[in-house]
Amino acid sequence: MGEIIESFEFRQCVSILKSTGERAKDLRELKDLIASVSDESIFHHTYQYFLKGHILEYTNDFAQWAGESLEERELSEHLSNIDPYDFKDISDLRNEILNVIHNHLERFPEPRKAIPGDEFYFNETVTFIFPVGIRARNLAEFLTAIRHVNTGPIYYHFYEARMRLGKGIDDFSRWIEDVFEKKDLAEKIRAIDPFMHTIEGIKEHIIEAVEEEVRKDMEVIDKCLTSI
Amino acid sequence: MFNQYLGISPKSDLLLLQMLGAKLNKRSFLHINSTRAGGGVAEILQRMLPILGELGIDARWEVIEGDSRFFDITKKIHNALQGHEEKIAKDMWQYHFNINRKNAEKINLDADAVLIHDPQPAPLIEFRKTGLWIWRCHIDASNPQKNVIDHLCQYCEKYDAAIFSVAKFTRAMAVDEFIIPPSIDPISEKNRALTDEEINKTLHKFQIATDRPIILQVSRFDRFKDPIGVIKAYRIVRKYNDCVLILAGSLATDDPEGEEVLNEVREYAANDPDVYILLLPPFSDKDINALQRTATVILQKSLKEGFGLTVSEGMWKGKPVIGGAVGGIPLQIVHGVTGFLVHSVEGAAFKIRQLLNNPEMAKRMGETGKEYVRKNFLITRQIRDYLSVWYSMENKGKSVLEL
């Protein structure tokens, strides 16, 4: 009788943007507003940065604005080094960002202003989560599915999952380890740096890793030779 | 019609559209603006309504009527929102309100959701009956004249929500503000693929030779589109690069300044045989399509811009686009990747020269731009966003909604 395994149901998320009405024109205002805006806004400007097709110099909107609009390169480096997945909740992340900016302002107390029109606009999102309508029952189907889905499911299962599951674990590697006990493959996927690639890049890395595993599983020559 | 987007629009957009259509099935969605022809808003609504209908939503589009005095006043409001100084006296605001009151007596304002486009019909909120009312601003209101925006906000803050095209157009209002960029329809006459025969027909109509590169800007004749600046840039380019310039546009029924600007442009061009100034009648979509497909470089050198649909149109045709770094244009043009952003006549001229002298770069930019539009600026995404706003307003307080 066939073994029943847990299949992988692809889901995705789409976000619509909402303005908070708040904007910062220099670093002091940025710091004051980071202290007071909603958790949803902090979440959007950090965790959801990867949804945007980001410039790979930075890892969140605050770092990008500091680097591009204020030309505070050192500060942008410090801010880019903050890993939001290290924090259990938004308030800890918020405090860390405030800390970094505060330390910078202690050393450089006269922040320059952004040029008009280039202020930092604090936004938040309403996110819709829904099924893609694709299910994979084995690695070969998973490989086919990953090749064909667009970036939405990759974001949901690779990035958003880290907050749901915690400990830097994504949905893909968890399924592969739990269902197929392929720890090595799971580790390979977990080792993909989420900050250093676009979502398309993440997709390519996952395809590469899974394809290699599927190919290995299909090979019978080694086994034939050793049995002679 | 919906099926025609399969293979073009991202699957996730189509899927979410269908799911939201099911959730909002048979509900009524009323759109109101001030012109059925001319300008980007009318163009989007023409395409959007049938798609909403196919999704099972009872969509309706009404247009308010006004006289020349009304449209003079509303053009001043429009200009003032874009930062141009205008005097709008108390009696003018009263006239604006009175015309809307007359329209409210004629239009059926009953609907589950009502989307009011731009300042012209904004006072209709005072005659609201039922439903969710949303004010949709397409204008670059990043630096508005204060007394004008304050007066308009007296209406806008009575709505349940507001929608702007770009984050920097928003302001601290007492209502929910969403950011939804506009879009193009890839299967419309303006954007579908054309045969060589169709393209040649347009070129023959306007007697445009294709033996030299073509620089093209398509826009209403409006000073904020800087048509004079485009001619200046072209003249700088001509010093080393032989090419022709086409400025093509129509006159919108709600824009009383159009003819004045057209005359200014004609005078400035001074009968240069290599500068084509084409006044197109409304609904010249196929001609615009053909011109964009023939162009070597497309310009949208606006000084102020709500969104700049022509940027996405040009990118959709695989052309390199140079745009003014204003309004919604930087949303579409990632500088150096999907196009070039410029801040001056000289900047525009420089980038035109770069593209004319590097056809490989121009081709790559065009291809990247097209894919960027496909993912972000197709009409299916915009409808998805409008329905998402509606659905989220009915589930207020939730930042995550599982379907």
Q: What is the pLDDT of residues A43-94, one digit of tens each?
A: 999 999 988 765 678 999 999 999 999 999 999 999 999 999 999 889 999 9
Residues in chain A within 8 Å Cβ distance of B401: 126-129
> What's the mean pLDDT in B356-363?
97
Distance CA A176, CA A185 (A): 7
CB contact under 8 A, A126 and B167: no
Beta B132-137 vs B113-117: how paired, if at all? parallel
Contact A14 B173 (CB under 8 A): no
* Phi, psi (degrees; rounded to nearest 5) at B137: -105, 120
Span B65-85, average pLDDT = 92
- pLDDT digit string (tens) for A174-186? 999 999 999 999 9
What is the distance between the alpha carbons of residues A61 and A70, in angstroms, rounded to a whole number? Answer: 13
Count the Cβ atoms, other than its own, within 10 Å of residue B19. 18
Is residue A163 pLDDT above 80, yes or no?
Answer: yes
Query: Among residues 161-220 of chain A, which lie with CB inside 8 Å of chain B?
Result: none
Look at A130 and B403 and tell me if their CB atoms are within 8 Å. Answer: yes
Q: What percent of chain B has pLDDT over 70?
A: 98
CA distance A107 to chain B (A): 30
Q: In this predicted structure, what is the pLDDT of residue A54?
A: 59
Residues of A in contact with B398 (CB under 8 A): 126
DSSP string, B271-282: T-TTEEEEEPPT
pLDDT of residue B91: 96
Interface contact flag, B168 A119, Cβ < 8 Å: yes
Chain B interface with A: residues with Cβ < 8 Å: 10-13, 15-16, 19, 142-143, 164, 167-168, 170-173, 176-180, 326, 384-385, 388-389, 392, 398-403
When pLDDT is averaged across residues B326-332 and rounded to a whole number, the result is 90
Asked whether the beta carbons of residue B401 and residue A128 sit closer than 8 angstroms, the reply is yes
Residues in chain A: 228
B-contacting residues of A 30-89, CB under 8 Å? 40
User: Are B388 and A117 in contact (CB < 8 Å)?
Assistant: no
| Residue of B16, B179, B392 with shortest CB distance to A19 | B179
- For residues B127 and A218, the model is more confident at B127
Radius of gyration of chain B, Cα coordinates, nearest whole angstrom: 21
In the predicted model, what is the mean pLDDT of residues A126-149? 94
> What are the strands, taking DSSP E only, across B16-170?
28-33, 58-63, 113-117, 132-137, 161-164
Q: What is the pLDDT of residues A182-207, one digit of tens each?
A: 999 999 999 999 888 888 899 999 99
What is the pLDDT, as a whole number, of residue B168? Answer: 85
A124 close contact with B: CB closer than 8 A: yes
Confidence at residue B304, expressed as pLDDT on a 0 to 100 scale = 86
Q: What is the pLDDT of residue A225?
A: 55
The backbone torsions φ and ψ at residue A157, rounded to the nearest 5 degrees and listed phi first, read: -85, -20
Phi/psi region, residue B118 (left: phi>0; alpha: psi -120 to 50; beta: rest), is left
Determine the Cα–Cα distance for residues B231 and A219; give it in Å rounded to an integer.
Answer: 66
Q: Rounded mean pLDDT of chain A?
A: 90
Q: Name the token pair of B275.
A: 């500068």
Tell which of A12, A13, A17, A163 to mutate to test the B interface (max B CBs under 10 Å): A17
Cβ(B357)–Cβ(B349) below 8 Å: no
> Which residues neighbour B236 within 8 Å (Cβ) at sequence distance 6 or greater?
B345, B346, B349
pLDDT surpassing 80 at residue A152: yes
Distance (Å) from the alpha carbon of A196 to chain B's nearest alpha carbon: 19
For A123, nearest residue in chain B (alpha carbons): B167
Residues of chain B with pLDDT > 90, as a percent, come to 81
Average pLDDT over every residue of B316-339: 94
Chain B closest CA to A5's CA: distance in Å?
Answer: 25
CB contact under 8 A, A150 and B398: no
pLDDT of residue B122: 96
Query: Which residues are CB-contacts of B231 (< 8 A; sequence separation ≥ 6)?
Result: B245, B247, B265, B268, B269, B275
pLDDT tier at A3 (50, 70, 90 boundaries)? low
Q: Tell me the nearest-neighbour CA distance from B27 into chain A, angstroms.
A: 20
Residue to test with chain A: of B11, B368, B387, most A Cβ within 10 A: B11
Contact at CB, A126 and B164, closer than 8 angstroms: no
pLDDT, tens digit, 9 for 90 and up, residues B212-259: 999 999 998 888 999 999 999 999 999 999 999 999 998 766 676 788
Rounded Cα gap, residues A94 and B69, in angstroms: 53
One-letter amino acid at B81 equals: L
Cα dihedral across residues A46, A113, B348, B252: positive or negative: positive
pLDDT recorded at residue B38: 67
Each residue's pLDDT tens digit, B106-160:
999 999 999 999 999 999 999 999 999 999 999 888 889 999 999 999 999 999 9
Contact B172 A117 (CB under 8 A): no
pLDDT of the residue at A1:
45
